[in-house]
Amino acid sequence: MNINTSADVRGSVFGGGEAGIVKEGVVVNMNGGEVTKDVYGGGALANTNTDNWGTTTWAAGKTSASNTTTINLKGGKVNRNVYGGGNNAEVTGDSKVKIGKKDEGE
């Protein structure tokens, strides 16, 4: 999901969607614009990175870093809070929030 300079979101942004299941990773890029409420890397009632997890432990060949949830805030304005996780939802795996410039090597 990309939020660009002309975006004006009158509510919250959910990288993982609403009331669904996201099996793999999520990336939210905010380069400008404004979000009047919150930004969530995960979903609203929507679990993310579910392929990472088996029934009671990590799925075969998976780790917490296999599928990740990432928020990149490089511009714009969020009027409330930024969450790496979801709203009443699980993020199975790593969650990253990057604010400002690019990391080394990107």
Q: Number of folded domains in the chain?
A: 1
pLDDT score at 103: 55
In a domain, 106, yes or no: no
Q: Tell me if 91 is assigned to some domain.
A: yes
Task: Tell me what pLDDT residue 6 has.
Answer: 77
Containing structural domain, residue 28: 2-99
The pLDDT profile of the chain, 106 residues, written as one tens digit per residue, is 777 777 899 999 999 988 888 999 999 999 999 999 999 999 999 899 999 999 899 999 999 999 999 999 999 999 999 999 999 998 999 999 998 865 555 5
Cα-trace Rg, the chain = 14
* Residue 26 within any structural domain of the chain: yes
What is the pLDDT at residue 1?
Answer: 73
